[in-house]
Amino acid sequence: MWSVVTAFLVGLLVVLWLASRQSQYRPMFTVRRMPRFQFGRLWWLLAGCVVAGGGLAAYGLTGLVNWPNADMARAEATVAAQGPSRLLIPALQLDERIVGVPVTNKGWDISRLGMHVGWLETTGVKPGDPLAMALIGHVTVSAVQVGPFAELHTLQPLDTIVYRSGGADYVFSVGSIEQVKPEDAHRLYVPKGDHLLLITCTDWNYVTETYDGRLIVDAVLTKQTPSPAAQ
């Protein structure tokens, strides 16, 4: 009896903590995958307590419970299907692994992006697709650590960007750099498979302590060669 009550209380604390984290989350772009039925906050909280409490109770009995993040797993599976992928920008001395960034009903979930470069789900999967690929990276990861795209704004026209995947190097040349608004998510859907978009935040607002703008670098494919590891 006490184990069930304890599990319920622990579940309540976990759900409250998750709710507070969600309230602080700010998506890079405001976009929705599809409308979903929304419960009232009270029903969501009660249901969450039951699920979390039941899950913790089951974990205490079996020690085998594992709740996967379906959205993240789906995005990572899409990236993995292309083979190990990296983004290289010689002018910025950047060489980072590319991870999947899933789109949810609240926008793209960048909570696990960290120091990596992320592929935005629902944009082009690889060069030559109907849509351009869109990759994002942080300007800052913390108050003392800059992100991989901290100097993205310094790129110049014709600078080289390399997308390395599946044993091939897709070499792009920077075409344009422009600033858009967070609500301009449609700007990330470019119907040109020979283009690559790099996105990050810009225009820091010291009053709201958020970034007011988004920076988009649009690069065009110039050639494809075998990657050094494949030679």
Q: Which of 29-33, 181-185, 218-222 has the lowest mean pLDDT?
A: 29-33
- Rounded Cα distance between 218 and 29, Å, is 17
Residue 25 has pLDDT above 90, yes or no: no
Instruction: With CA atoms as reference, report the closest residue to 125 among 71, 163, 96.
Output: 163
- Rounded Cα distance between 111 and 108, Å, is 9
CB-CB contact of 163 with 172 (8 Å): yes
Which of the listed residues 62, 91, 114 is the one where a domain comes to its end? 62
Residues 77 and 6 in one domain: no
% residues pLDDT > 90 (the chain): 54
Q: How far does CA 83 lie from the centroid of its chain?
A: 18
Bridge partners of 160, per DSSP, are 173
Residue 23 has pLDDT above 80, yes or no: no
- The encoded tokens of residue 138 equal 């942080």
Residues 220 and 161 in one domain: yes
Residues 97 and 51 in one domain: no
Residues 23 and 89 in one domain: no
Count of domains observed in the chain: 2
Residue 105: CB atoms within 10 Å = 12
User: What is the CATH classification number for the domain harbouring 105?
Assistant: 2.40.260.10
Which of the listed residues 62, 89, 113 is the one where a domain comes to its end? 62
85 vs 37, residue with greater confidence: 85
Residues 83 and 138 in one domain: yes
- Domain span at 106: 70-230
Residues 50 and 156 in one domain: no
Residue 231 has pLDDT above 60, yes or no: no
- Beta strands at 107-108 and 103-104: parallel, antiparallel or unpaired: antiparallel
Question: In the prediction, which pLDDT does 69 show?
Answer: 80
3-state SS assignment for residue 109:
coil
Residues 190 and 139 in one domain: yes
Residues 76 and 35 in one domain: no
Residues 58 and 82 in one domain: no
Question: In the prediction, which pLDDT does 229 show?
Answer: 66
Q: What is the mean pLDDT of residues 101-109?
A: 88
Residues 87 and 121 in one domain: yes
Residues 152 and 225 in one domain: yes
Question: In the prediction, which pLDDT does 39 show?
Answer: 37
Categorize the per-residue pLDDT at 220 as very low, low, confident or very high, splitting at 50, 70 and 90: very high
CA-based torsion, 35, 37, 40, 44: positive or negative: negative
pLDDT 10s digits, 129-169: 999 999 999 999 888 899 999 999 999 999 999 999 999 99
Residues 74 and 57 in one domain: no
pLDDT 10s digits, 52-77: 455 444 434 333 333 348 888 888 88
Which of the listed residues 62, 86, 113 is the one where a domain comes to its end? 62
Length of the chain: 231
Q: For the chain, give me the number of helices (H) and strands (E)?
A: 3, 12
